[in-house]
Amino acid sequence: MNFHGHQIIGKTTSAESGETFTGIDPRDGTVLPGEFHEATNAEIDQAVNLAAESFDTFRHTSLEDRAAFLEAIADEAIAFGDEFLIRASAETGHPLPRCTAERGRAVNQARLFAKMVREGSWVDARIDKALPDQQPVPRPDIRSMMKPIGPIAVFGASNFPIAISVLGSDTISAFAAGCPVIIKAHPAHPGTCEAAALIIQNAIKKCGLPDGIFSLVHGRSARVGTELVKHPKLAAAAFTGSLNGGRALFDVANARPVPIPFYAEMGSVNPIFVLPGALEERADGIAKGFIEALTTGVGQFCTNPGLVFGIGDNSGWDTFRSTAAELATEYDPQTMLHSGIHYAFEEGVKAMQNMGGLTLKARSIREPVEQKSEAACYLFETDSEGLLDHPQLFEEVFGPVSTMVECQSPRELEAFAEQLDGSLTASIHGTEEDLETYKNVITVLERKIGRLIFNGYPVGLDVCDSIHHGGPYPATCHSHFTSIGTRCINRFVRPVCYQNWPNAALPPELQDENPIGIMRMVNGERTRSV
């Protein structure tokens, strides 16, 4: 397909700036077709103003209309064909089957949200009817529900160019809530972003919705994202990326005259705890699963396991270490997403190699090709003293590198669990007896972790109603919220309360007759009854 490289502002395009950039194939450095224009401040202003103008119309659409819109996005993503996937593969180095799977995830995600929107209980409608005879003070009629907050800025992830980008959960959940979206296209996959934007435009036209509910702006500079977050008509922003980038924009959001929520998913070390009972039973199998998780997608998952803890006075730990090392050497270096990520990975590994008390246990045998931005697998090891001497090991290095830490007692494991920063996941391999012996470790992790995994691995998650993809800082800015799964809609709504309001003037979700049949809390009881 041909790429115009312009800002997409509602149904119009704009290219005021002569400053352009291109997509690059990280596998060989090839410049890909299309020149993409850096957004000007005036174009950003136009996009947000248009979203604000469209908000009242969009937020008053019915739940059915919004659900149909999400389903139209899913249908259009399939109808668009494979050109979309081919461009995503070229801009990221992801194999085509991976891009196809990502599209499937995005499509299923949109349909999951459509189902949730129709069901309606997510609006959390609550009704406390008037009690004029209540003592000592009569109670008025009080009703409340969740309502959309306004235009949302979305910053897509570099590692998921389809499933956590323009068509990702941030965009879909904002639309589900009734909020317009302005996308900051990722500069590493601008063509993929433009194609995805056309998919959404097609769905908007198909459903007869206001054009202004969706815009997309390009930019390599920090200025574009900063100006977008600073815009006074923006209601919130969602970001997936590095700790430095997310924290910088979080600070911008909070420095505004009127601060706004900034939901960032950032750095996470995702520890694995391999307990003695499990090591005795299946040390080889756990090691195999660990290396698979470490190297899947060239280690470019936000849930990549960066630390592994085990007890040293156990023969199973030695087996685990040796098996993991053998498998790490067999890993064939692969191309990373782009040269910037590759450079940061190489610098992170160099820093680890210069740490005293940290030993390089294994490394891919084949040398990576720098011109192809390839990353080898690196497996380090240390003991408790080495970890204490280098607290930076508790920080994420994005890519296929991990450190095995040998501990001497349950108390030592508990102490290291206490030192962990907030993380998206922690994996515990053990038996039921292990869980009892190490229950204090689990108790600590419940305070530190968003998703606790038993006898499994952190990479890969199912997009469903129950999933939580979040955690305490620095995993995210707000540990109460998730960026994946249907609960992520809660970021883009707020409660609005109506007191003594005439029934006919209330939103349908709060009217006495419950015309759309949703589950509500009425006088303290959950019911679909009127």
Which residues are identified as catalytic?
265, 302
Instruction: Determine contact, residues 271/306, Cβ cutoff 8 Å.
Output: yes
7-9: strand order across its sheet:
12-14, 7-9, 214-217, 181-184, 152-155, 236-240, 262-265
Minimal CA–CA distance to 420: which of 458, 454, 461, 450?
Answer: 450
The C-alpha atoms of residue 390 and residue 356 are separated, in whole angstroms, by 9
Q: Is 273 exposed, middle or buried (0-12, 13-18, 19+ CB in 10 A)?
A: buried
Neighbours of 356 (CB within 10 A): 8
DSSP-based three-state secondary structure for 55: helix
List residues bridging with 493 in a β-sheet: 148
In angstroms, the first-to-last Cα distance of the chain is: 53
Say if residue 136 is preceded by a cis peptide, omega within 30 of 0. Answer: yes
- Positive or negative, the Cα torsion across 138, 144, 150, 153? positive
The token duo for 78 is: 């399939």
Instruction: Determine contact, residues 491/484, Cβ cutoff 8 Å.
Output: no
The C-alpha atoms of residue 82 and residue 278 are separated, in whole angstroms, by 44
Instruction: Determine contact, residues 306/432, Cβ cutoff 8 Å.
Output: no
The C-alpha atoms of residue 483 and residue 493 are separated, in whole angstroms, by 14
Amino acid at residue number 520? R
* Residues 6+ away with beta carbon under 8 Å from 420: 269, 271, 394, 426, 445, 448
The C-alpha atoms of residue 479 and residue 209 are separated, in whole angstroms, by 33
Amino acid at residue number 68? A
Quick one: which H or E segment has residue 497?
A: strand 493-499
DSSP-based three-state secondary structure for 79: helix
List residues bridging with 305 in a β-sheet: none
The C-alpha atoms of residue 27 and residue 105 are separated, in whole angstroms, by 25
Neighbours of 150 (CB within 10 A): 21
Amino acid at residue number 404? M
The C-alpha atoms of residue 242 and residue 100 are separated, in whole angstroms, by 25
Quick one: which H or E segment has residue 240?
A: strand 236-240
* Residues 6+ away with beta carbon under 8 Å from 245: 239, 266
Instruction: Determine contact, residues 374/299, Cβ cutoff 8 Å.
Output: no
Separation in Å, CA 149 to CA 164, 203, 496: 21, 22, 10
